[in-house]
Chains A and B, each alone.
Chain A
Amino acid sequence: MLKTKNLWRLLAQSRKVLKTKNLLWLLAQSRKVLKTKNLLWLLAAVALALFPIFESNPSYQTIGVYTLIFMACSTSWNMFSGYSGYIALGSAAFYGTGAYTMALASIHWNMAPGAAMFWLVPLGGLVAVIVAIPIGWVALRVRRHTFVVITIAIFFVFQLFAINMSFTGGTAGLNLPYISWNASYFDVPFYYVALGIVIFAALLSTSVRRSRFGLQLLAIRDDEDRALGLGVKVAAVKLTGFAMSAFAIGMCGALFAMFQGQIYPQFVFDPLFDISIALMAFFGGLGTVAGPLLGGLILESAQQYLTVTFSNDSLYLILLGSLFLLVIMFMPQGIIVFFRDRYSKKVDRNRSALSQNSLTLNEGAT
């Protein structure tokens, strides 16, 4: 069978496949995958995954868990508020709902303290989504500033509810089943679950941005009535986005409750949480995928680190405030947008020509 003739034919075939043109195509494909942007993403993911291995100090690992939680929440918040322009300041309602779901379910179902409780994390997200649907149904009837105020009001209703109802334990809070893992590695499982939520939120945010649904959210941000007149079912699109964004936030709340072991209404229904996740998204770049991730990474880790380092309460606030001022002054659209404008040549001028000022000028001229 293996005659010389056949061998020659095989060789000829393989040469056809390995033509220069095909090789170039293969090279082009691999270069596409290995673009700087993708490499940066990969690098960031690897660095985050390796962090607890190289940093064995539990107090820094704890900072890592909190940072990841805020990165995920800010990303998920941005997926609706950043894309649609509906700035919600009541997302702590979903965070708290997730936390209380974890606490109540683990207590009432007599769960054995330990890894099995992680199964309640997605449940926390799910309950948050269920809660988000009626909230969104009411709040999304109004726009802009009124929407912001309504979401804050609804959030405070939740906080008051948690403080005053008996099944939530009131101001005394709730104690979850006590997890007695060794303190030297206690944080690590939480860290990786939080990292999983971050990756989930980032992938969801990316796929929404690339979908028709995401385009519709952006159209709603720019001119909702016009979008409606072009066939976009704005009410359904808004409510879907709002409810979807509650999922990762609810999961983070549930993880937080399990991590803390006890929860109090004022800490899981915390108005500062609402402001923090919004500020992180603004800081990194509102409406971008990477913006809230970067914002959460910088702001939350800096805040936690500075609190640990300078236990003096006010000093870290001054440092953090100065950082914030600098970014707002020199990169008003956020870090990501600033660097994208600077280094991507194709859209360079056009994007920066779009700053708020030139927009108003254009409209004024008409």
Chain B
Amino acid sequence: MTTLLRVDNVSRSFGGVLALRDCSLEVEKGSITGLIGPNGSGKTTLFNVITGYVKPDAGTVTFNGKSITNARPNTVFALGIGRTFQLTRIFARITVLENMLVATQRDDSWLRGLTRSMSSKVEVANAMEWLSFVGIAQLAELPAGALSFGQRKLLELAYVLVADPDVILLDEPAGGVNLTLINSIAEKIKTLNESGKTFLIVEHNMEFVMGLCASVTVMHQGSALISGTPDDVRSNALVLDAYLGGGDDEESSEFA
């Protein structure tokens, strides 16, 4: 196993709040890695640093042996890191299929965009294939804004997949969707992982994380507390302390 994505000693503060403090993380190639921690522990900020939306104050991010610290989001995506957002972000006023086509060419030059048509037959076929994979192909012609929250989650997953990234960062894929859909999303992640995709998943649903991830990293107050197998993490005293000691009842009940 080789390390595909590596975060070393990253720090980032917003005003006086230290969102990330000397945070380090390794994602093995071909793994499904879980990232858990109480609200405000810096999980999403870490995602933002990796994908280029937020610049770190210190530390480095390495992907495939290449530094992507301070790279712009489009560059990060072109290199092969796709992500979804906690609150889904889709293009509401264009159709579902057009949403897919935006992401199709991950390193297309802007000049070529001027001279080529919106899509080729191959691209449409490929986009439709991924839409059927997540199960919303029948909605392809609808404006994406007409989709329900759960369907938007699926669309977001589909258009990240259409560009064939190596690593996929999922920010709460099971948040706010019903149980049937959660299971179906977990199945999809497993299938994709078997075909060689690497996943890094932020999630509060412990059953989901523990069932899916071979390795789990716990974040607390901006840094990675421990990493290990789900069983190691579950029984670790520090983790229980982070969740229970923080006085965040909601989190602790979820963890139980």
Q: What are the 6 closest A-B residue pairs judged by CB atoms, nearest first?
A: A222-B91, A213-B113, A212-B113, A230-B103, A236-B110, A226-B89
Q: Does A231 contact B (CB under 8 A)?
A: yes
Residues of A within 8 A of B89 (CB): 223, 225-226
Residues of B within 8 A of A234 (CB): 74
Considering the complex, give the chain B residue whose CB is closest to the CB of A230.
B103
Cβ of B145 and Cβ of A354 under 8 Å apart? yes
Q: Does A291 contact B (CB under 8 A)?
A: no
Interface size, B (range): 35 or more
Please pick, from B83, B90, B112, B116, the residue contacting A229 in the complex, using a CB distance under 8 A: B83
**A–B Cβ pairs within 8 angstroms, 13 of them:** A210-B117, A210-B118, A211-B118, A212-B118, A219-B102, A223-B89, A228-B73, A229-B52, A230-B163, A232-B102, A240-B114, A351-B143, A354-B92
* Docked CA distance A65–B72 (Å): 47
Cβ of B93 and Cβ of A230 under 8 Å apart? no
* Docked CA distance A231–B51 (Å): 11
A-B contact count (CB 8 A): 116
Please pick, from B74, B141, B176, the residue contacting A233 in the complex, using a CB distance under 8 A: B74
Q: Does A11 contact B (CB under 8 A)?
A: no
Residues of A within 8 A of B92 (CB): 222-223, 354, 359
Cβ of A223 and Cβ of B90 under 8 Å apart? yes
* Docked CA distance A13–B256 (Å): 80
Q: Does A98 contact B (CB under 8 A)?
A: no
Q: Does A237 contact B (CB under 8 A)?
A: yes
Chain B proximity of A68: nearest CB distance (Å): 26
- Tell me how many residues of A have a C-beta within 8 Å of chain B: 35
Q: Does B115 contact A (CB under 8 A)?
A: yes
Known A-B contacts A218-B94, A225-B53; the reply to A230 vs B143 at CB < 8 A is no
Cβ of A215 and Cβ of B163 under 8 Å apart? no
Known A-B contacts A212-B112, A212-B113, A366-B176; the reply to A353 vs B146 at CB < 8 A is yes
Cβ of A231 and Cβ of B77 under 8 Å apart? yes
Chain A proximity of B46: nearest CB distance (Å): 15
Binding site for B on A (CB under 8 A): 210-216, 218-219, 221-223, 225-234, 236-237, 240, 346-347, 350-351, 353-354, 359, 362, 365-366
13 new A-B contacts, CB < 8 A, other than A230-B163, A365-B149, A366-B149, are: A212-B108, A213-B113, A215-B118, A216-B110, A219-B91, A225-B89, A226-B90, A227-B91, A229-B51, A231-B163, A353-B146, A362-B148, A362-B149
The A interface, classified by DSSP as helix, strand, loop or mixed, is: helix
Cβ of A211 and Cβ of B145 under 8 Å apart? no
Cβ of B102 and Cβ of A216 under 8 Å apart? yes
Residues of A within 8 A of B141 (CB): 346-347
Cβ of A219 and Cβ of B146 under 8 Å apart? no
Which of B48-101 touch A at CB < 8 Å? 51-53, 72-74, 76-78, 83, 85, 87-94, 98, 101
Chain A proximity of B103: nearest CB distance (Å): 4
Cβ of A212 and Cβ of B51 under 8 Å apart? no
Please pick, from A240, A353, A354, the residue contacting B110 in the complex, using a CB distance under 8 A: A240
Cβ of B110 and Cβ of A213 under 8 Å apart? yes
* Docked CA distance A245–B72 (Å): 27
Cβ of A211 and Cβ of B143 under 8 Å apart? no
Please pick, from A229, A240, A354, the residue contacting B77 in the complex, using a CB distance under 8 A: A229
Known A-B contacts A237-B113, A359-B92; the reply to A229 vs B101 at CB < 8 A is no
Residues of A within 8 A of B142 (CB): 350
Q: Does B105 contact A (CB under 8 A)?
A: yes
* Docked CA distance A365–B145 (Å): 13
Known A-B contacts A229-B53, A359-B92; the reply to A211 vs B146 at CB < 8 A is no
* Docked CA distance A223–B107 (Å): 19
Cβ of A219 and Cβ of B94 under 8 Å apart? yes
Chain A proximity of B76: nearest CB distance (Å): 8
Q: Does B159 contact A (CB under 8 A)?
A: yes
